Amino acid sequence: MARLGFLFTLLWGLALGAGVLYLPLDDRPPNWAPCGWEGVRCPPREVYRGPEGADLPLLRAWLLSTPGKRLVASLDALAYGGLLQSRHLDLPAEDVLARLGPLLAWKARYGGEVFLFGVVPRWDATRRERNLKVLHALAPWAAIKGVYLEAVWDDALRGSPAPKEARALPYPSRPGADEAGQVLLLRALSPGLRVAVVHEEGALAERTTPYEALPLEETVRGLVRSAGVEEVALEAIPDLVLYVYGGKSPRGATQDLLRLMAQYPVALADLSRVNRGDAGLMGYLQALGLYGRLAAYAAWGTPANNLGSALAQGGLFLRDREGRLQRLAEAYFAYWWGEVGRPWVRGRFPEPLGEEALGVASLWPYVAWEGYRLDLKALAFPWRRSFEAEARLSLVPLPSPVHLVE
């Protein structure tokens, strides 16, 4: 039955056509989230199977049968089935490269632009050498007209070899992984966006941030290059301001945001903690009605994850109020999950998680902004672990205030 459903979806996609195709790294929420964005077409959800990895024959069939003007794709998804599989799958480099052939076949068949990212493996991957050999072998692809290729490195602790290995590649590289698809969607859909980067404090730019193994200013520089945006000064009247919060002063950052938001759309990347946001800053944003006015917000992952997610969503939904509010709703859920949901579940239930862990939904607070109340309609654990959760959210219009006439 699942195969019949896939065939119907594939034929429907053929008939409809597609503007931007997207092959996520896997189906964890940060990677899969763009599949719900207007104008982005993804493989059917059943092709991605959680920790088991993607069904590669179905993924290749969908790709080769689906036309489009642009393709944003994870190399690791098509080669190994996903990030988890890329670390340990026993497969010769030659066979891996053969699995990537459909990407060039798609380009030859449909003539679309191709935006690709591969992951430089982290320290504990057993197939590190094989993965690096594959990334080096792909260097000629970077010279093909209409192909953009980059490498991102995954969770590099201080002293990790990944940054050095990435720099040895003859094409662009930077830290990150789970935000890479979003960043390349920005490159594909809104190239040339003018962005000003503002740090909470000057010293933040020189700080070596967790899981990146290099100064923050280098991480930002790499993201700007990946996204295809132009970094400009505030005086040049940017399309978007990316505000980088390091956790020094929630009150001071709020004052910065008040000043900036009076003149520019502002995307906020909260780097105060890994995989969690700053509750003090969120409190100010909610109390002053600023959260719903943000261009984007991200606090769900590592510094590169949050920077890339905030930049991409801020740029892609700059002139789409409904889409922007939906992305802010998802970002608030991710903040709440890191601050409340994940700790509550981890303290009570073993993994793999069962249905009893869904009781965490009872802790959802009353949240409202910009004339809407944010309701949590349903909750799921796609990988049956507490690290990530998937939510079905609803923005419910608030009733208009009643004005009494004397």
Kindly state the average pLDDT of the residues 205-226.
Answer: 94
- Give the percent of the chain with pLDDT over 70: 94
Rg (CA), the chain: 21
Tokens of 358: 């869904």
Is the separation of the CB atoms in 241 and 257 below 8 Å? no
List, in sequence order, the alpha helices (H) in 176-233.
180-189, 216-227
Superfamily of domain 191-319: SGNH hydrolase (3.40.50.1110)
Task: Look up the CATH architecture of domain 1-189.
Answer: 3-Layer(aba) Sandwich (3.40)
Q: Which residues pair with 175 in a beta bridge?
A: 153
At which residue do the structure tokens 């053969």 appear? 98
Tokens of 60: 């290749």
Q: Would 1-189 and 191-319 be classified into the same CATH topology? A: yes
Residue-wise pLDDT tens digits, 292-306: 999 999 999 999 999
Is the separation of the CB atoms in 233 and 184 below 8 Å? no
Is the separation of the CB atoms in 288 and 258 below 8 Å? yes
Residue (of 36, 8, 12) closest to 22 by Cα position:
36
Is it the case that residue 405 has pLDDT exceeding 60? no
Phi first, then psi, for residue 40 (nearest 5°) are -115, 125
H/E segment holding residue 124: none
Q: Which residues pair with 195 in a beta bridge?
A: 231, 240
Q: What is the band of 3 on the pLDDT scale with cuts at 50, 70, 90?
A: very low
Residue-wise pLDDT tens digits, 235-254: 999 999 999 999 999 999 99
H/E segment holding residue 266: strand 266-270
For the chain, give every domain's residue range. Answer: 1-189, 191-319
Q: What is the band of 158 on the pLDDT scale with cuts at 50, 70, 90?
A: confident
Determine the pLDDT at residue 155. Answer: 87
Q: What is the band of 328 on the pLDDT scale with cuts at 50, 70, 90?
A: very high
Rounded to an integer, what distance in angstroms lies between the CA atom of residue 239 and that of residue 190?
A: 11
* Mean pLDDT, all residues of the chain: 93
Is it the case that residue 14 has pLDDT exceeding 80? no
Is the separation of the CB atoms in 298 and 284 below 8 Å? no
Determine the pLDDT at residue 156. Answer: 86
Which pTM was predicted? 0.93
